[in-house]
Amino acid sequence: MENVYGLLGFPVEHSLSPLMHNDAFVRLGIPARYHLFSVHPKQVSEAIAGVRALGIAGVNVTIPHKMAVIPFLDDIDDHARRIGAVNTIVNDNGRLVGYNTDGPGYVKALEEEMDVSLDGKRILLIGAGGGARGIYFSLLSTAAKRIDMTNRTVEKAEQLVREGGDGRSAYFSLAEAEARLDEYDIMINTTSVGMHPRVEAQPLSLERLQPGTIVSDIIYNPLETKWLKEAKARGARVQNGVGMLVYQGALAFEKWTGQWPDVNRMKQLVIEALRR
């Protein structure tokens, strides 16, 4: 019988996840299908009960349900518990277990796409919202030397560093971070600044950027933000948000099926769809 997978979110219509997962199921000969489930915020508990009742094999969870699903699960892994958000649920013979592959997906994409080891690296995270949280806690499990944070509302960066930090993190205002840009090997924008339709906006001035720095943006619409364009022009190595999107999906796929999909093919499909 065909296994059913899917995405719980609101809205979900524009998700690229079915494209990635359904193609990977076909290519690996796995009898399964990934569907979109638009779940109203008032019906999260019913949706999870539905996953159980219908024997749905696994789901992704997206905005605005990543926190709301937690009370209805049987178990949640340490990383997801720590960040307080679930993006992947595995139905293990009726036991629903929550994971979060966003941060781990980001880190894996960074290491593989940029062919870099994070050991000893000095990293600056821009932003302190939901996107930053998963990435920050995942970076803390690497051997990076520094994982500093800057945010428009500096108190939010301070709070996150206090909560997770292990002595490797400082927090700065945007102006302070801009003045210290030359101290970092890797810079990551986790904010929505520069995302369609406000494509002219930039999260941080790159005046003091050193050539050779890795500049990474989790935004994938547009594929290359104005910020990444400028970083590239200043001699940086740049990465867009497609990698995180694909690798969080690939890690979920692996949890569901035990198999690692062809991430380059997933990436190609996503980029083609985004260009359309």
Rule CB under 6 A: which residues touch ligand ATR? 127-131, 151-153, 156, 191-193
Q: Which is nearer to ligand ATR, 184 or 256 (CB)?
A: 184
Q: Which of 42, 66, 229, 232 is catalytic?
A: 66
Task: Using the minimum distance from each CB to ligand ATR, give the nearer residue, 142 or 192.
Answer: 192
Nearest distance from C-beta of residue 105 to ligand ATR, angstroms: 15
Which residue's CB is nearer to ligand ATR, number 128 or number 244?
128
Phi, psi of 216 (to 5 degrees): -125, 140
Nearest residue to 131 via CA among 85, 197, 180, 78? 85
Tokens 């781990």 belong to 104
State the minimum distance, in angstroms, from the CB of residue 129 to ligand ATR. Answer: 2
In whole angstroms, how close is the CB of 111 to ligand ATR at the nearest point? 22
Instruction: State how far the Cα of 114 lies from the Cα of 117, in Å rounded to an integer.
Output: 9
Q: Which of 52, 156 has the CB closer to ligand ATR?
A: 156
Nearer Cβ to ligand ATR, position 58 or 131? 131
66 a catalytic residue: yes
**CB nearest ligand ATR: which residue?**
129
At closest approach, how far in Å is the CB of 33 from ligand ATR?
29
User: Which residue, 92, 45, 94, is CA-closest to 65?
Assistant: 45
4 DSSP β-pair partners: 33
Nearest-approach distance from CB 219 to ligand ATR, in angstroms: 10
For the chain, the DSSP string reads --EEEEEEESS-TT-SHHHHHHHHHHHTT--EEEEEEE--GGGHHHHHHHHHHHT--EEEE-TT-TTTTGGG-SEE-HHHHHHT--SEEEEETTEEEEE--HHHHHHHHHHHHTT---TT-EEEEE--SHHHHHHHHHHTTS--SEEEEE-SSHHHHHHHHHHH--SS--EE-HHHHHHTGGG-SEEEE-S-TT-TT-TT--SS--TTPPTT-EEEES--SSSS-HHHHHHHHTT-EEE-THHHHHHHHHHHHHHHHS----HHHHHHHHHHHHH-
Nearer to ligand ATR among residue 54 and residue 201 (C-beta): 201
CB of 215 to ligand ATR, least distance (A): 17
Q: Which residues are catalytic?
A: 66
